[in-house]
Structure formats: C-alpha cells, structure tokens
C-alpha cells in the first residue's frame, strides 16, 4: 500500500486552488500505486472544506485546529500527521508557506524532498517528479529513494479533476510544539489583490510603461481579467512599483495559463521567471525585442493604445 498525503492551504479562511490541484494529483498517484488519499487541512473551521476535497479525490480529510501560520509549529503538525498516517508520498504546495515549513518536515521525518515539481508520474512503484531547472533551460526528472517521499508542487501545474472520494473528515491534534520565532506584526496591505505566484492570469508592465503614473493602464486590464499585476525588474529597480510584484530571477517564478507582457523587452532573467507560462502575449513597440521569441501572440505596437483597446474589448465580451 502506498498512501498519499496532501497538505492543503488556505487564504483568509478560504481553500486555495492549489489545495484542489494537489488533491487531484495525489488521486492520480494513489490510483497508480493502489493507495488512499488523505488531505490534511490546518486552521480553524477547516472541516467545512472536506466535501470540496472529497469531490476532487480525497478519501479522507484530517483536520487540525490551529491559529495563524507559523513555519515551526506547522512543521511539527504536518510531521505529526505523517508519523501517524505513514504515507509514502506527501504533496505540499510550493507557495511561500509551503517553502517555509516543508524543509523542516523533510528533516523531521527523514524524507527526501524534490521542490517545485511541475509534473508527477509513477514509474516502478515510485513517483517521478519533473521540475524546471537552470532557469527553465532544462527539465529534470527525479525519484526520492527514502520510504517517505515529499514533493512541493508548483501552483497551476496540476489539473483539477472531479473524481469522488469518500471525503470523510476526522480531527487530529498532533503536538504543535513551541516556536522559537515569534510574529510581532504583519502588514498585508502592500500585496496584490490577486496572488502573483498562484494567479492563472498575469498582466505585467516593464520599462515601456514609462513611469509609475501609468500603472492604471496595466491595472485596468488586470482588473477586467481578475489577473494579478506583475512587473519586470527594470520597473521595480526604477522604483515604479514594489519588489513584491517582480516576476523573474530575482522576483517570483510564475506559471499562469496566460501571461500578458506589456512594454517588457524580455531579458533572460525575466524569461527565467515566466517562461513556463502556458500562453504568453507580448505587446511591445520594438519588434526585435526578445520577448517575441517566447510569445504565443505578439503585438508590435504602442502599449498605451493597445492595452486600453484590449481592456475595452474584454469588458465588452466578459460583460
């Protein structure tokens, strides 16, 4: 028996899409290995999501009542459930939270870990994880040889598939332990309305937007599409927008279904962060800009004319 444990994630008390993505991915693995899928949710009032995860393949849901996220206590809770349930495969979101606690979990349970997987398949009774490496210039396939294998999974990389599991909820209360790091205060006002690293559509601006006063042009399109607002390093380094919006090598790695690059030339460091986007739209005055080499749809034109026209057109069709 090779059972799978997925660790879900919440945002403001709501289930994140990545939780369903990894539940579906876990279902596929468990079906191939002949095992069960258990979904773990940590937080308060998380029982109500049992049905949502059951519908996409979870056989059972383990809920742990806990307060705000702290990497150390979360690592103890997750490791506690792993020790109790003894899964052979554990899937964790490759999100800022997942990156914060998963390293500790791996060491606590003596597991090998492959981070930032975008593909998961089964070969010879073991999961093979595929991940982009060397800034997306190669892909690697890896197996974990320890009895427990942990994979952190990139958001938007796995399909959500409706497939009913039992979804029976059970509460657990592993020891959270004490955290050595205390959270003094949080300021969550500077971020995106839509989370960049997990967004399915991103509209990004670069040097071509000419100045910070022109973000409304880009934000207008993002708002119509329910997209996250991104930026190139040039725009961030010029002080036009905060670093939390930066896409690229020294910013965030993103894999949206659709990436709309406005006035971005496409330096290799930018491509490293967004090159795995499924569809790329480039709007740029310079027809020789490197961004056109990766763009699915290229518009050689002035973003200050094309982007507002695009916003209007989407408003029309999306009502």
Binding region for FAD: 207, 232-233, 246-250, 263-270, 284
Residue 38 or 277 with smaller CB distance to another protein? 277
For residues 156 and 200, the answer to whether their CB atoms sit within 8 Å is: yes
- Of 31-39, 58-66, 131-139, 208-216, the window that binds another protein (rule: CB under 8 A) is 131-139
Q: Is 133 in the site for another protein (CB under 8 A)?
A: yes
Q: Is 97 in the site for another protein (CB under 8 A)?
A: yes
Q: Smallest distance from the beta carbon of 190 to another protein, in angstroms? A: 5
Q: Smallest distance from the beta carbon of 204 to another protein, in angstroms? A: 15
CA distances to 107, 182, 198, 315 from 220, rounded to whole Å, are 45, 39, 20, 10
Supply the DSSP symbol for 107.
Answer: H
Q: Smallest distance from the beta carbon of 159 to another protein, in angstroms? A: 14
Dihedral angle of Cα 129, 26, 2, 79, to the nearest 10 degrees: 90
Residue 63 or 276 with smaller CB distance to another protein? 276
Q: Is 161 in the site for another protein (CB under 8 A)?
A: no
Residue 86 or 244 with smaller CB distance to another protein? 244
Task: Find, among 152, 150, 132, 149, the residue nearest to 141 by Cα.
Answer: 132
Q: Is 142 in the site for another protein (CB under 8 A)?
A: yes
What CA–CA distance (Å, rounded) separates 247 from 250?
A: 8
Query: Angle of helix 303-318 relative to helix 215-225, nearest 10 degrees?
Result: 20
> Which parts of 259-298 interact with another protein (CB under 8 A)?
268-269, 272, 275, 278-281, 287, 292-298
Stated length of the chain:
319
What CA–CA distance (Å, rounded) separates 293 from 289?
A: 8
Residue whose tokens read 């480039």:
282
Residue 50 or 106 with smaller CB distance to another protein? 106
Q: Smallest distance from the beta carbon of 5 to another protein, in angstroms? A: 18
């Amino acid at each position: 028996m090779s059972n799978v444990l997925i660790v879900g994630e919440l945002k403001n008390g709501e289930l994140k899409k990545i939780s369903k993505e990894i539940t579906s991915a876990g279902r596929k693995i468990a079906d191939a290995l002949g095992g069960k899928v258990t979904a773990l949710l940590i937080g308060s009032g998380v029982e109500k999501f049992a049905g949502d995860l059951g519908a996409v393949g979870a056989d059972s849901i383990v809920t742990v009542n806990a307060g705000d996220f702290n990497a150390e206590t979360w690592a103890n809770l997750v490791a506690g459930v792993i020790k109790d349930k003894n899964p052979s495969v554990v899937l964790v979101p490759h999100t800022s939270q997942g990156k914060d606690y998963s390293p500790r979990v791996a060491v606590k349970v003596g597991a090998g870990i492959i981070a930032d997987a975008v593909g998961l398949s089964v070969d010879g009774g073991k999961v093979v994880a595929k991940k982009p490496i060397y800034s997306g210039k190669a892909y690697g396939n890896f197996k974990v040889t320890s009895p427990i294998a942990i994979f952190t999974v990139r958001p938007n990389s796995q399909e959500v598939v409706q497939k009913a599991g039992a979804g029976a909820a059970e509460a657990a209360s592993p020891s959270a332990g004490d955290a050595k790091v205390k959270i003094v205060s949080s300021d969550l006002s500077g971020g995106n309305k839509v989370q960049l690293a997990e967004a399915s559509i991103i509209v990004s601006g670069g040097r071509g937007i000419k100045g910070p006063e022109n973000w409304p042009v880009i934000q207008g399109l993002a708002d119509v599409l329910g997209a996250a607002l991104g930026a190139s390093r040039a725009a961030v380094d010029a002080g036009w927008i905060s670093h939390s919006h930066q896409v690229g090598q020294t910013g965030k790695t993103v894999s949206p279904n659709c990436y709309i690059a406005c006035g971005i030339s496409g330096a290799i460091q930018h491509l490293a962060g967004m090159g795995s986007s499924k569809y790329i739209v480039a709007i740029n005055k310079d027809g020789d800009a490197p961004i056109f080499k990766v763009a699915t749809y290229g518009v050689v034109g002035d973003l200050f004319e094309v982007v507002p026209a695009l916003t209007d057109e989407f408003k029309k069709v999306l009502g």
